[in-house]
Structure 1
Amino acid sequence: MQFKLLILSICTFLFSQGMFAQYSFEGYVDETLKDGEIFLSLVEDYRKLSGVYNEQILIKTKADTTGYFSFTGNNLPADNRMYRIHVDTCPDDAPNTSHVMGHCKNSKEIIFIANNTSTIQLPTSFADEVFCKVVSEDKRAEAFLKIDSLRNDMHYAFNSYRSEANRKVNTEKWFTIFQQYGEQLQEPLAELYIYSFLSDRSSLLHTYYLEDLKNNNYYQDLLVRLQQKYPETGYTQQYEAELKADQYLINSIAEKAQIPWWLYLIGIVSILSIAGNFYFFGKWRKAKEPKITDENLSNQEKKVLDLILENKTNKEIATLLFVSVSTVKTHINNVYRKLNVSSRDEVKTLFSK
C-alpha cells in the first residue's frame, strides 16, 4: 500500500511539473501573414538578433484561419534567454538568406526575454499591427520593445538637424540615457540588447563607444552582472571576448598615437637646422647689402646721396654744392656703381628699407 502511494506521489509530482513547468508563447498575425510560417528561435548570439538563422530555430508553425498561433512546451532553459518570433511569407524553396536579409514580403518579428515558465501573449494592436505589444506578468519580457521605442526617439533626435555639433551632443546624451535605463531594468540581457547597437562596428556610434570605453566603468560593471547572473552562457563569454578585443583595439590605437623619442629628436634637429639656415641666410643677405661708409663713398658722394634722398634735381644739387651739373652727374654715377643700383628710385628703395 505504501509502495502504491509512493508511486502515486511520484506520478503526481511529475504530472504537476509537466503542467506548470512549461512555457506558452501565443499571439495573432494579421490577414497578410496568415499563410506565412512562424518561427520560434533561441537567440544565443546577440549580434544575430534580426532575421532567421537555421541554427537558432527551435520550432515553426502556422497560424489558423483567425490568425492565432502558439508555441508551448517545457524544453527551454530555466533561466532567462533572448527569444525571437519571426513570421514571413517566403516560399518553402526560398534560400535561407531571404529570411536573414529580410527580403521576404510582409516580414515581421519580435524579440523578447523569457524562460521555460514564461507566458507571453502577443496581441495585435488597434490598427492590426503585429508584434508591437507584449503581455506578460514579467515586465522584463517587454524590455526590448521599450528599448526600441527609445531608439526611435534617438533617431528622431539625430535627424532633427544633421550637423557635427548635433551628432556629438546627442551621441553623449543617448549613451547615458540607454546605459542608465538598462541598469534600471535589472536585467543584463536587456543591457546586452542595448550594447549590441551602441557598439555596432557599422554604426556611426562606434567611434564614440570606443572613446566611452576608455573611461566609463559601465562596461566592466555589466560584465560583472552577466557573470553573476549568467555565468556559463554564451552571452557572457561573447561579451567578455568582445570587450577584451575592443580594449585591445583602444590600446593599440593609443600606442600608435604615441610619438617615438627618436621622432622628437629628428624634429628638434630639423627645427634647429631650419633656424640655423635662416640665421646664416640673413647674415649672408646682410653681408651682400651695400654698406654706406667712408670706404665706399666719398664725402662729396655722401652729400650727393643725401640730396638725392631729399628729391633734389641735378640742377638743385649743383647749385647747393657749388659745382657744375656735369660734376653732379659724375658723382651720381659713382654712387650708383658703389651701391649697385641704376636709378634714383632704386636708391630710395634701398634706403627706405
Structure 2
Amino acid sequence: MRTYGLVVFIFCSITWAHAQHAFRGIVDKDRWQNNVYLSVIEDYRKLSGVFSEQIISRQRPDSLGNFLFTGNQLDTENRIYRIHVDNCNDAEQGQNHYDGHCNDSKEILFIAKGNDTINFPFSFDNQMFCTVSSGNPKADAFVQIDSLKEIMKYDYGEFRSEANRKLNNRKWFKTLQDFGKSLNEPLAELYIYAFLSERGNNFHQYYLEDLKTNPYYSNLLKRLKDAYPNSAYTQQYANELKADQYSIQSNSSFTNRSWSIVWLICTISILLNIILLFKLLKKKQNSQLELTSLLTKQEQNILDLLLQDKSNKDIAEALFVSLSTVKTHVNNIYKKLNVQSRTETKELFNR
C-alpha cells in the first residue's frame, strides 16, 4: 500500500462521555482544496484507495486547514481507520469514491478505539519522519511498518538484478513477518500479511511456498481469534487462509496425479513394447521353423553345422559323408532358402 505523508502525533487516550473519539489535525489549504474523509476499514484488501462504502464522516477544513472528527459511534475495540484528502472535483467525486481510484490523494492508516484522541497537527507531507506517541500502544503500528518498508525499498533499489531481488525477497519476507509479530498486534500483522500475500506482488509466490510448511499463518489466525473473535478481519483471514491452503493442496494433488499418469503411460508403453517384441520374435521363430521345414533331415543337420561356421570338410567329417555330398546338400539348402551364400544364410537365422 502506498501511504503518503502525514505527520502523526498520537497523544494519550482520554475517556470522553459515551466513549467519544476525537481525531483532529491540519491540512495544507494551498495543496488540498476539498474535504477530509474518515473511513473505517473492515476489508484489509482495501487498505489503500478511496472507497465510498468505507467512509463514515466528512469534514470541510476551516480557513486555516483545521479539521476535527468526533463522536461516539466508533467501536470500543481496535479497528483500522483511514483519513484521506483528495482534489477530485464534485463531478468526479462520485466516480472516484465508487471505484477506489483517485490519482491526486493522500492518506494515512491508523489503529484506534472509540475513545481515542489522535492529533494530526501538520500537513499531509511529512508522515514518514514523525515520532508517534499514544496512550493506545497499537495506534502507530502501521506508521512503524511503513517506515520499515521505506528502508526495504532501498535494498531492492541498490541492484536491480534478479539475484538481488530473490535474496531480498527471502530476507524481507521474514523481516516483515517477525516485525509484525513483535508489535503484538494482530491487525498490524494483517497489514503485513495483506502486503506479502497480494497477488502480483514479488512476494506472492514466496508466500505460497511458505504457507506449505510455516505454522506462522495458523498461529496468526489463533491470535486474531483471541483478540478479535467476532471481527470481519478474523473471518476474512480465516476464509483466505483456507482458500489458499486448499489451492496449494489441489495443485499438489494435481501434480501428483499428473506424475502418476505419466508413470502409468510409461509403464503401459513399456509393456506394449515388450508384447510387440515378443510377437515379432515369435513371428521370426515361426518363420524360421517354416523355412527349416522345407529341408530334409540331413539338410537340417548340415544347416545347423553351417550356422556354427563349420567348413564343408568339418561337416563331412562330423556326419561321416563325402565332401561332394556336403556340397550337394549345401547347394540344395541355398535353393530352398532362396539365398546365395553362407552369410545370407546366417543373416536369415540371425546368427
Q: Same fold (TM over 0.5)?
A: yes
C-alpha deviation, 1:186, in angstroms: 0.8
Give the residue type in structure 2 aligned to 1:66: L
Match of 2:245 among 244, 247, 254: 247
Question: Cα offset for 1:274?
Answer: 7.2
Which residue is equivalent to 1:129? Answer: 125
Give the aligned partner of residue 262 of structure 2.
263
Higher RCO (Cα < 8 Å, 6 or more apart): 2
Q: Is the Cα contact below 8 Å between 1:213 and 1:247 reproduced in 2?
A: yes
Judged with a 3 Å threshold, the aligned counterparts in structure 2 of structure 1 residues 267 and 36 are, in CA distance, closer, same or farther, namely same
Matching residue of 2:234: 236
- Aligned twin of 1:180: 178
Q: Distance in 1 between matches of 2:162 and 2:255?
A: 24
Per-residue CA distance 1:307-329 (angstroms, 9 max, x = gap): xxxxxxxxxxxxxxxxxxxxxxx
- Determine the C-alpha separation between the residues in 2 that align with 1:22 and 1:64: 22
Q: Deviations over 1:177-211 (max 9, x none)?
A: 11111111111100010111111012121111110
- The letter for the 2-side match of 1:112 is F
Q: CA deviation at 1:237?
A: 0.4
Deviation at 1:155, TM superposition (A): 2.7
Please name the residue that 2:289 is paired with.
none
| Structure 2 equivalent of residue 111 of structure 1 | 109
The letter for the 1-side match of 2:263 is: Y
Deviations 1:125-161 (A, max 9, x none): 6xx7254445533232111111112222223322322
> Structure 1 residue 77: deviation in Å?
0.3
The whole-number CA distance in structure 1 between the counterparts of 2:186 and 2:170 is 21
CA 151–274 in structure 1, closer or farther in 2 if over 3 Å, else same: farther
Deviation at 1:31, TM superposition (A): 3.2
CA distance in structure 1 between the aligned counterparts of 2:16 and 2:178, rounded to whole angstroms: 39
**Runs of 5+ unmatched residues, structure 2:** 1-13, 285-306, 312-340, 345-351
Query: What is the match of residue 158 of structure 2?
Result: 160
User: Which residue of structure 2 aligns with residue 50 of structure 1?
Assistant: 48
- SS for the counterpart of 1:129 is coil
Match of 1:216 in 2: 214
1:73 matched to which residue of 2? 71
Report the number of matched residues.
274
Post-superposition offset of 1:269 = 4.5
For 1:103, give the aligned amino acid.
C
Q: Could you list the runs of 5+ residues in structure 1 that have no partner in the other structure?
A: 1-15, 285-290, 296-336, 341-353
Amino acid at match of 2:253: E
Deviates more, 1:58-67 or 1:187-196: 58-67
Distance 1:162 1:25, change over 3 A: same
Verify the 8 A CA contact 1:121 1:136 in the aligned structure 2: no
Partner letter of residue 60 of structure 2?
K
Question: What is the CA–CA distance in structure 2 between the aligned matches of 1:34 and 1:261, rounded to whole Å?
Answer: 63
What does residue 151 of structure 1 align with?
149
Relative distance call for 1:265 and 1:21 in structure 2 (3 A) is closer
Relative to the length of structure 1, the TM-score reads 0.69
Q: CA RMSD in A?
A: 3.1
Percent identical among aligned pairs is 46
TM-score (norm 2): 0.69
The 5 A counterparts of 1:1-353 are 18-19=16-17, 21-99=19-97, 100-105=99-104, 107-124=105-122, 129=125, 131-132=127-128, 133=130, 134-259=132-257, 261-270=260-269
